[in-house]
Amino acid sequence: MTKHTKEILDLLDEHYGKEYVCYLNHENAWQLLIATMLSAQCTDARVNIVTKELFQKYKSPADFAKADVKELEQDIHSTGFYRNKARNIIACCKTLCEKYGGEVPREIDQLTALAGVGRKTANVIRGNIYHEPSVVVDTHVKRISNKLGLVSGDDPVKLEYDLMKVLPRDHWIRYNIQIIRLGREICKAPTPRCELCFLTGCCPAYQSGTEKKAGKTSRTVKAGKAETK
């Protein structure tokens, strides 16, 4: 691990802790799988509102597998892209029932073969449910990892592999958790709040002037003090 990487990871641990958290409410693997599918182009807060009632109505993958597609579309309407999401959830749950006895498989190839499940969703399941070290590349991780100079590029799969090379294995899961929080509270898109950031000293985007050097750099936001989305 380079000095630059260590400095960033130490500061993330110091400010956000090492605690494991999942921002999508769920009680088991299949609920997390569906919640993650619904979270595409949608906030976690909105997904949590929708799944609160959804998981009361559909109590198992079998319930989703036999759902009426039009009715499910209405149930998940507010998460956006509801037609695709409804079709994929039904197809995915049919496979879970027919091939895996209603359980969610563990291997990345098995997960990504499910309808509507890409590497991001698969890695969420592997990290959260099976505690397999995995790097989840979402919009925050993509944007901020580039700014911090840990990786460069846009392709999520390449970024995932590059981050696996750069980050120590024991940081893979929590890096995503910490960066999501940083992205929601401080390093926001499109305008990061660098004046509140504790990473200015090791952020090439800030130091090169790519990001506006606003306010006093010594003022930082401690865990729990900044607003959330």
Q: Give me the active site residues, please.
A: 120, 138
Secondary structure E strands in 181-225: none
User: How far is Cα 136 from Cα 127, in angstroms, rounded to an integer?
Assistant: 8
Is the CB of 116 or the CB of 183 nearer to ligand SF4? Answer: 183
Which residue bears the tokens 């024991």? 170
The residue within the footprint of ligand SF4, chosen from 44, 75, 162, 211 (CB under 6 A), is 211
User: How far is Cα 212 from Cα 21, in angstroms, rounded to an integer?
Assistant: 31
Is the CB of 26 or the CB of 140 nearer to ligand SF4? Answer: 140
Is the CB of 105 or the CB of 183 nearer to ligand SF4? Answer: 183
Q: Is 124 in the site for ligand SF4 (CB under 6 A)?
A: no
What is the largest distance, in Å, between two alpha-carbon atoms of the chain?
58
Q: Is 199 in the site for ligand SF4 (CB under 6 A)?
A: yes
Q: How far is the CB of 198 from ligand SF4 (least distance, A)?
A: 8
Candidate segments 16-24, 26-34, 46-54, 141-149, binder of ligand SF4 by CB under 6 A: 141-149
User: How far is Cα 209 from Cα 199, in angstroms, rounded to an integer?
Assistant: 14
**Which of 152, 154, 150, 122 is CA-nearest to residue 135?**
122
The residues that touch ligand SF4, with contacts defined as CB under 6 A, are: 144, 147-148, 186-187, 192-194, 197, 199-200, 203, 205-206, 211
